[in-house]
Amino acid sequence: MSEVLKMLEDLENRLWARFGNPLAKYTKTQTDVHMTYYVGRLMEELGHKWVNPKNISGDHEDRAYYSEKALHDAFLAGQLLARKSNQELAENIRAEIKAELKSAIDEL
């Protein structure tokens, strides 16, 4: 079993070396806040539960714990939404280029 854990740790280290922390210099937007609520709803729809822990003084901390499966589902949803958004952007660019070409040809 320790070999499997070592393999997972090596994978984690390689991914961290490759990607680092993409959020380190990112400034969050209002859209990001809205998408957070969307992902929360998605997690509920998929049956994922979360735990809001209490800190030592008894106050609720500003955090929630999800399972590894829930994190994977949220990550995958983000990838799929980004892919769809990129496809829509590419289609819009192609449509604009076609319109410009048609206009240029019509003006010949």
The pLDDT, as a whole number, for residue 63 is 72
The pLDDT, as a whole number, for residue 12 is 92
For the chain, the domains span 2-106
| Torsion over CA: 94, 97, 101, 102 (sign) | positive
**For residues 78-93, average pLDDT:** 89
pLDDT digits (tens, 9 = 90+) for 4-60: 889 989 999 999 999 899 888 889 899 888 988 898 899 999 999 877 776 655 666
For residues 51 and 76, what is the distance between their CA atoms, to the nearest angstrom?
Answer: 21
The pLDDT, as a whole number, for residue 20 is 92
The pLDDT, as a whole number, for residue 95 is 92
The pLDDT, as a whole number, for residue 46 is 92
Confidence of residue 71 (pLDDT cuts 50, 70, 90): confident
For residues 36 and 99, what is the distance between their CA atoms, to the nearest angstrom?
Answer: 37
| Torsion over CA: 70, 65, 68, 79 (sign) | positive
Confidence of residue 1 (pLDDT cuts 50, 70, 90): low
* DSSP string computed for 23-63: TTTPPP-HHHHHHHHHHHHHHHHTT---B--B-TTSPBPS-
